Amino acid sequence: MFNLVLVNPEIPHNAGAAGRLCLATGSTLHLVKPLGFSLDDKQVRRVGLDYWKDVDLRLWDSLEEFFRSTSPDRIWLLTTKGKTAHWDISFRKGDYLVCGCETRGLPESVLETFPDRLIRVPMHERGIRSLNLATAAAVVLYEGVRQVS
C-alpha cells in the first residue's frame, strides 16, 4: 500500500508501533541506519507483539542509499517545518512517507532538497512542538489509505 520510512529512529517503542501500523495497513516499514537500538531489543518486540516477525521490513545503511533507490516524486517528508497539511496532498499507492528521528527530525539538507515535498500534521498552537513519531506517522498513513481505498 505505502512505505513508511523512519530515519535514524532512536526509540524502540516507536519502531515497534510503526511495524504494527505497517502490518495493519499493508505497508512496508523502512528503517534507515543508524538506529538508536537493536532490532532484537525486547522493547521493539514488546510493542510489535507477535506481529513483528510478519512486518515487511527493509533496512538501509544510510539516507543517501535510500534516496538513490527512490523516485523523488513518490517521497513525502513529514516535518513540523512543512506548510502543507497532510490532507491537502494527493497520495498514491506506493508513496514513501519519510519521518526523521524523534529528537532532531529530518536533516535540514534533506528539507532543502525537497522543499515541495514537505507536509505537516496541523496542531493547535499551545506549546506543543510535535506529535509522537508513531502517532504522526499513523495520522498521515491512514489519510493516505483513506484516499486510495
Topology of domain 3-148, per CATH? Answer: Alpha/beta knot (3.40.1280)
- pLDDT confidence of residue 42: 67
Alpha helices in the chain (DSSP H): 12-25, 42-48, 63-68, 108-113, 133-148
Residue 111 has pLDDT above 90, yes or no: yes
Residue 47 has pLDDT above 70, yes or no: no
Average pLDDT over residues 110-139: 89
End-to-end CA distance of the chain, in Å? 10
Residues 149, 65: Cα–Cα separation, whole Å: 31
CA separation, residue 81 to residues 22, 42, 46, 65, 132 (Å): 25, 33, 32, 24, 15
Grid coordinates of 119? 507536509
